[in-house]
Structure 1
Amino acid sequence: MVRALEVQVLTRENIKPAYPTPHHLRNFKLSLMDQITFPIYVCTIFLYKADSSVKSYQISQRLKSSLSKTLTKFYPFAGRLKDDFSIICNDQGAEYVEALANGFLSEYLQKPDQKLLRDFHPFKYAESSAAGIGDPMLRIQATFFKCGGLAIAVCTHHKLIDGSSVGTFVNSWTATARADSQSSSISNINKEVIPAFVAATFFPASESFVPLPFHNAPTEVNRYVFDASKIDQLRAKVASATVPRPSRVEVLTALIWKCAKAASRSNLGYSRPSLSVHAMNVRAVAKPPLPENSVGNSVGYVTAQASGNEIETVQDLVLSLRKAKAEYSKKGLQTVLETKNLFHIPESLQEKFEKDEIDFYTFSSTVNFPFYGLADFGWGKPVHVTISNYVISNLFVLMDTNDGKGIEVLVFLSPEDLALFERDQELLSFATVNPPVLDMSTSTGKNVSSILRSSL
């Protein structure tokens, strides 16, 4: 059993942009999608093995210097949320914390524990759902391990920053850090990443927006990994005349949805309808399309419906997902702009939804998003990238494994549902429950405790 990890905060400061934000950019307008989105922090955590060629004090200096330069371009990230319509770009800065962990990175990677990730946050877990007015838009913690390993938590205010925006920011930050180090072999390290702040033009803010329903319920989390061969088996099993080539994300989503429905049915003692809501990057499907590097919430929610029927198969649910995506592609974005509501509840289920008589599941995917390739500060790519700090129950987050071939899924369910979900035999025939990320038993690294204490 992995021992408890103790993390000691060494420094806490605000990193300000290297150059002041011009006066005409000081009042940043939110978009309709920003207004609607959950008011929470979402933490993306990047874990790195020790690199003997770079000292911990050099890492610290490089992170802070490159962050300051990057914030000049991402100036709203250094501001504070003013209200439901705007951010004050006052250069207060991003909160930046450095900490020291008493353990070894290999201990976590051998048996990943999602609860331990909370110690890498730059705030207490009890604050996790609070990302409101006056709070930093960006909070970062760099945690150094005894072995020289490193965890960097990038915690973003969801009122401005979606998953794609995180990727654009990390891409820019790491490119700046690599250029500063002048030691990276990665090509195009000087290629500048310029964010486009245009979402409010495409999706104007509204006085009458409808916030996403937010239910902060007791939630447990577990991690499941599907390797490439198992995903191929599932795709072959689920393929049909109607959907001959289901995607990897479609088949895993349908399988997980089916198993979650079964767990709910067993706990309730009866079947009830369910909805699965799928976050979809709409930059490419907007008319006209948004730039790929646009920053801001540009996410649509595709809503698929399932009955409470016990004999509903994974194949049935894949078809439901495919139909829902086709429907959204036709008129989904236009409906959002007209109703000021990000997702649509079928009229036949509206009353049950209002009475909490349906199961409601949310799926988010970063599959095929190159987090591993982007997040090299000059000391190598991360060995693991994960998401932490979601406080929403009935949530499933799909991410690439570090080899780019498999998919890992973080499952956030009530304790009662998760206890049944993780014993589902159909699920376990394709998934491995929380396997090691990789074997680091032979890795070595210098003890950084004394270096950090003397240099920070």
Structure 2
Amino acid sequence: MTIKGLILRASLISRRQMHVISRSITNVKPDSPTPLNLKHYKLPSHDRMNPNIYMPLVLFYSNPQPSDYTTSIANLLKISLSKTLSKYYPFAGRLGSSGSYVECSDQGINFLEVQIACNLSEILEKAPVKDEEEGFGHLFPPCSIWDKVSSSPLVLVQLNHCSCGGIAIAVCLSHRIADASTLLSFLSYWASVSRNPGDVENLAQLAPCFVQGLLPNSYDDGFVATDILISEKNWITAEMLFYNSKIAELKAYQEKQDKLHGVVANQNYTRNELVTALLYRCALAAAATSNSGAYPLSVLFQAINMRRLIDPPLPKTSVGNLMSPTHISANTMNETELHSLIGQMRKEKKQLTGIKSLVRKGFLQLIEKYAKDNYKLYVVSSICNFPLYDRLDFGWGRPVNASVVDAPAVNIFTMMDTPNGDGIKVILGLEKEDMKNFRADKELITYASFYH
């Protein structure tokens, strides 16, 4: 056999080792039936505005050793998940035909258990894309990564066992009924039940809060649920890291520039603000390079967690899509100065403080208007400072890593904390030529590094 043939054969063997070698599926139902008066869960307008697609998150654990040796990891997770679904009762139901309510029928959710023929370290070296060969696709149930839910369960779970003894818990939750904050609250409650089911006080603090009675103005029977077409992937996915030390350098540099140009001193920029503004600035520069130097018309959307901003404030564990969008635009290089972008972002967020309702009927029309006028749409969302690691101990320690997988569409960035809390990692999707220029941006690589 030629050297080329040996290399090809070795490559094929390596790929086969990443495949699923066994799979089983169980239906997990709530351990107590949903009361009759809660069987119909009406979705508020701010939930109906979100597409019914799965949000994919995966948690990695190295050689877990559960404290309860009388049962397997899988059984421990199923039992605690069943108890959790009794509290998060709509999650075990099915979306109604109109897409505007959940039939809380206790039909349960799919729990898959899978053997993966590779080590955990090999998976962590791969990019967080949906592809089964080049990313995390084999860790999730088929057709679940940013795919349409249709008539399927609203939650999917896959427990992956690696050859080394490590595990990966992949969870998908319908975006129609919940945002990322709700997903993490759900996981925190589930982990707490698994770790210490007798800690009644802690579980009471983590219990879900359903907001029907708190947001009475959010229910509009005439509001039609949003539906979208899932497009073929036309972007490149990458993961990048902004270490806190580099963000501090960026902050110091920006404060120095502010003083030189007469900008109000002591802006007290946050990590999120700096990274968001830099991502938008460099993405636009990349698009301009792809367009022979001409900056495109563009708009940046951000999803703002409204739980603390709405009046009165809502509990952290409130269930639903309790977000409100902000948007800013920039069409020239001068308009992408960080202090200017952050100033606009703060102004937009300030306008949300103290609002009484999340009903914003003009948002979809706004997106349609920008798209019709050929604006390039960018979205940056953040789950930084959320309980992503410390609260997701199921009884064998915190995750060694966690990741949102891929992007739901092009020009979308998701920010999250690194496992050690030493920085921010970003999962992003850009068109091929834009990604090439983005990765080569000198300003960007001064403060960030690409993991893949």
TM-score category (smaller protein): 0.7 to 0.9
Relative distance call for 1:199 and 1:423 in structure 2 (3 A) is farther
The equivalent of 1:248 in structure 2 is: 271
Structure 2 residue 129 is matched with structure 1 residue 129? no
- 1:430 and 2:443 matched: no
The alpha-carbon distance between structure 1 residues 53 and 63, as it changes in their structure 2 partners (threshold 3 A), is closer
Secondary structure (helix, strand or coil) at the match of 1:328 reads coil
Counterpart of 1:155? 172
Q: 1:364 aligns with which of 354, 378, 381?
A: 381
State the partner residue of 1:205.
220
Paired position in structure 2 for 1:340? 361
Partner of 1:390: 407
Closer, same or farther in 2 for the Cα pair 1:215/1:65, shift >3 Å? closer
- 2:331 pairs, out of 307, 310, 313, with 307
SS at match of 1:429: helix
Q: For 1:12, what is the secondary structure of its paired residue?
A: strand
Are residue 70 (structure 1) and residue 88 (structure 2) matched? no
Secondary structure of 2:319's counterpart equals coil
Quick one: distance in 1 between partners of 2:180 and 2:70?
Answer: 29
Calculate percent identity across the aligned residue pairs: 30
**Which residue pairs with 2:51 in the alignment?**
38
Structure 1 residues 214 and 200: CA distance shift in structure 2, 3 A: farther
1:291 to 315, 328, 347: 315
| C-alpha deviation, 1:238, in angstroms | 2.0
Aligned partners of 1:260 and 1:421 also within 8 Å:
yes
Q: 1:16 aligns with which of 29, 36, 41?
A: 29
Question: Whole-Å Cα distance in 2 between the matches of residues 319 and 189 of structure 1?
Answer: 39
Superimposed CA distance per residue, residues 136-186 of structure 1 (whole angstroms, 9 cap, x where no aligned partner): 111110101001101001100000011111111111101110125x8xxx9
The answer (yes or no) to whether the contact 1:34–1:296 under 8 Å persists in 2 is yes
Q: Which amino acid aligns with 1:174?
A: A
Instruction: Pick closer, same or farther for the CA change 1:330–1:197 going to 2, 3 Å.
Output: closer
Matched AA of 1:378: G
Please give the alpha-carbon distance, in whole angstroms, between the structure 1 residues aligned to 2:59 and 2:222: 38
The whole-number CA distance in structure 2 between the counterparts of 1:421 and 1:167 is 30
- Find the aligned partners of 1:288 and 1:96 in 2 and give their Cα distance: 37
User: Distance between the aligned counterparts of 2:146 and 2:208, measured in 1?
Assistant: 27
Q: Name the structure 2 match of 1:233.
A: 249
Contact 1:179 1:190 in 2 (8 A): no
Consecutive unaligned residues in structure 2, runs of 5 or more? 1-10
Q: Which amino acid aligns with 1:253?
A: T
Give 1:44 shift. 1.1
AA paired with 1:370? P
Name the CA distance, whole Å, in 2 between partners of 1:273 and 1:56: 61
Cα offsets for 1:386-422 (capped at 9, x unmatched): 1015321110000000111200011111222212211
Tell me, yes or no, if the aligned pair for 1:96 and 1:122 is still in contact at 8 Å.
no
How many angstroms apart in 2 are the aligned matches of 1:200 and 1:212?
26
Cα 1:26/1:131, change in 2 over 3 Å: same
Maintained 8 Å contact 2:123/2:136 = no
| 1:301 counterpart SS class | strand
| Corresponding position: 1:321 with 2:336 | no
Which residue pairs with 1:442 in the alignment? none
Q: 1:388 to 1:120 in 2, by over 3 A?
A: same
Paired with 1:18 and 1:434, the residues of 2 have a C-alpha distance of: 42
Find the aligned partners of 2:327 and 2:379 in 1 and give their Cα distance: 9
What's the secondary structure of 2:41's corresponding residue? Answer: strand
Structure 1 CA distance for aligned equivalents of residues 284 and 102 of structure 2: 40
Q: CA deviation at 1:274?
A: 1.3
Deviation (angstroms), 1:190 = 5.7
Residue 155 of structure 2, aligned match among 132, 138, 141: 138
Aligned to 2:7: none
**Letter matched to residue 58 of structure 1:** S
Superposed CA offset, 1:410-441 (max 9, x none)? 11112222122112111111111117xxxxxx
Change (3 A) 1:282 1:17: same
CA contact (8 A) 1:121 1:153 kept: yes
Q: Deviations over 1:191-229 (max 9, x none)?
A: 563211115751223413584887735122100001110
Classify 1:9/1:35 alpha carbon distance in 2 versus 1 (closer, same or farther; 3 Å). Answer: farther
Point out where structure 1 has 5 or more consecutive residues left out of the alignment. Answer: 436-456
Q: Which has the higher contact order (CA 8 A, sep 6+)?
A: 1
Which residue identity lines up with residue 25 of structure 1 in the other structure? L
Aligned length: 422
One of 103, 106, 124 as aligned partner of 1:88: 103
Distance 1:166 1:422 in 2: 31
- Residue 289 of structure 2 corresponds to which residue in structure 1? 266
Q: Who is 2:433 aligned against?
A: 416
Name the SS of the counterpart of 1:288 in structure 2.
Answer: coil
**Cross-structure match for 2:3:** none
Specify the code of the residue in structure 2 equivalent to 1:95: N
Give the Cα separation in 2 of the matches to 1:41 and 1:68.
20
CA deviation after TM superposition for structure 1 residue 322, in Å: 2.0
